[in-house]
Structure 1
């Protein structure tokens, strides 16, 4: 018997076949970050620290550091949002932080968006950035800056371009991670 015939004979007739289970819809809710979210936020961020060049951090952030950052951003009234699955799993987060510490920069922020592995490629980054922009406008912020690695972050560049961010500059060889030099691309959007 030929292999093809054997395979054909092993198949059930269509009326007896069990359909493949449909993939569950990707569901989430967006909400303000809470202190209880910080362990999950830390895990998402530290995955990128250890495995990618999208952040130039080389050392994992501690929970103590995240708590301090959360308290600081809360004090300043800066948007910090999370996406949560129906089961309570944190899928990703987005926040803005002051661009520089000098008071004259107080209306300019830098954005950060990070997704957990289960949430990549499903459009959540786009949803988080849209919400972050709206909340930043509502907070009275005027300019948003994205600082994006010049290698391995093509999706982030494309996402920001779709939201009207324009490239305003590049800095070459300003970071050294994983035994190679990296640069950054600066993008900016006016929040009107």
Structure 2
């Protein structure tokens, strides 16, 4: 039966007998601390951007081993590494902070954040939720400054999100990167954090 014939026949049916489209399920997720076994999914999310985007200047895909080493390093430092998971347990995105400028001791109260989302999770508020959780977790750890280094091309949504959450542009560097045959610059945004004493965010995430 042709599609238009099916539609005509459907309109002839009494309203109560017509099939109804299933309502779209609401987007749901849970934030929790990352664990080692999440690194396979984290790798796949990140490598998509390595091969398809200029939001990261990496040109070579990360291995699973490299992600596990990064996870272990951040865990040793006590820095937040969060994942967002679906009700079925699928990793939808992740957010982490790393030591600023490679971890020189004089920068110990400053971190750089990174947030990446799976393609199916983009545009649904997940990036904001991860960034808000990272900010809160860093404040609980006594971190005083958070910095974001964002590509000046192809990452306008990321710049806008950071500005909505109180980050201020503090500088730009032009033509410091090169990927996919074009030069790229970076935008630097910074947010002053207020260390607070309250129940651990990660403890609250684990208890949900």
Any idea what SS the aligned residue of 1:54 has? coil
Query: What residue is the counterpart of 1:186 in the other structure?
Result: 188
Q: Is the Cα contact below 8 Å between 2:10 and 2:18 reproduced in 1?
A: no
Secondary structure at the aligned position of 1:26 is classed as: coil
For residue 50 of structure 1, what is the aligned residue in structure 2?
A: 51
C-alpha contact (below 8 Å) 2:109/2:144 kept by paired residues: yes
How big is the shift at 1:13?
4.5
Name 2:201's counterpart in structure 1: none
The answer on 1:74 being equivalent to 2:83 is no
Partner in structure 2 of residue 14 of structure 1 = 15
CA drift at 1:118: 1.4
Shift of 1:117: 1.2
Deviation string 1:140-163 (CA, Å, 9 cap, x unpaired) is 100000001001101101100000
CA distance in 2, matches of 1:16, 1:131: 47
Select 1:144's aligned residue among 137, 143, 146. Answer: 146
Return the alpha-carbon distance in structure 1 between the equivalents of residues 150 and 15 of structure 2: 51
Partner of 1:24: 25
Q: Aligned residue for 2:109?
A: 107
Q: Distance in 1 between matches of 2:58 and 2:86?
A: 27
- Measure, in 2, the Cα distance between the counterparts of 1:191 and 1:144: 7
1:163 alignment partner in structure 2:
165
Q: Deviations over 1:19-67 (max 9, x none)?
A: 1111111111111000000000000000000110000000001111111
Separation in structure 2 between the aligned mates of residue 152 and residue 125 of structure 1, nearest angstrom: 16
TM-score (norm 1): 0.94
2:132 alignment counterpart: 130
The runs of 5 or more residues in structure 1 that have no matched partner are none
For these two proteins, the number of residue pairs brought into alignment is 189
Q: TM-score, length-normalised on structure 2?
A: 0.87
Say if 2:84 is the partner of 1:96.
Answer: no
Q: Match of 1:133, SS?
A: helix
Equivalent-residue separation in structure 2 for 1:9 and 1:142 (angstroms): 66
Cα distance between partner residues in 1 of 2:10 and 2:53: 45
